Amino acid sequence: MKKLEDYVRTIPDFPEPGIMFRDVTSILQDADGFQLAINSLLELVKDVPCDVIAGTESRGFIFGAPLAYAMKKPFALIRKKGKLPCKTVSTSYELEYGSAEIEMHADAITPGQKVILVDDLIATGGTIEAAARLVEQLGGEVVKIVFLMELAGLHGRDKLAKYDVASVISYEGK
């Protein structure tokens, strides 16, 4: 029986020398790999009481929406600024070179709702930390943050120390 790691394609020296790029598309291109990914994420959240699943653009949508479906929960989108049509709340965060801004619909989370955040990968943690701030800005409580893969060498968990964080696969490097 294959492990999820067996479905991850590693591309050395991309996008620059010394980087081992962990490609999630190789999981998505295999029906068994995709099913194993969703089932593995479900295992991480099966005992977590929640009201809403939220995912970050765009791969958080790919993995978060099936979780929401399987758990019979609504799914909230967290997108880059300017992509949502209704009233939004937004927050900015720092990137390696500059800053970015993400937003959610203002009615995506109601005060007191328990939220699980989902993304495919945690690297430095900046995007998901900003996503957690958005949930809290709307009065929600982040009860768990889950990732398919983690690049532990980039210490993204440090930014998320106050949250319950889990990943299916953890790579020691960057």
| Number of other residues whose CB lies within 10 A of the CB of residue 162 | 9
Catalytic residue among 59, 133, 136, 141: 59
Query: What secondary structure letter does DSSP report for 112?
Result: T
Closest to 36 measured CA to CA, from 47, 23, 27: 27
What is the spatial distance between Cα 65 and Cα 82, in angstroms, rounded to a whole number? 21
Q: In which residue are the tokens 């980039």 written? A: 154
Catalytic residue among 43, 94, 96, 133: 96
Beta bridge pairs of residue 90: 103
**CA Rg, the chain, in Å?**
16
The question of whether 9 is a catalytic residue gets the answer: no
The question of whether 22 is a catalytic residue gets the answer: no
CA dihedral 73, 79, 82, 87 (to 10 degrees): 30
What is the spatial distance between Cα 61 and Cα 131, in angstroms, rounded to a whole number? 13
- Catalytic residue numbers, as ranges: 59, 96
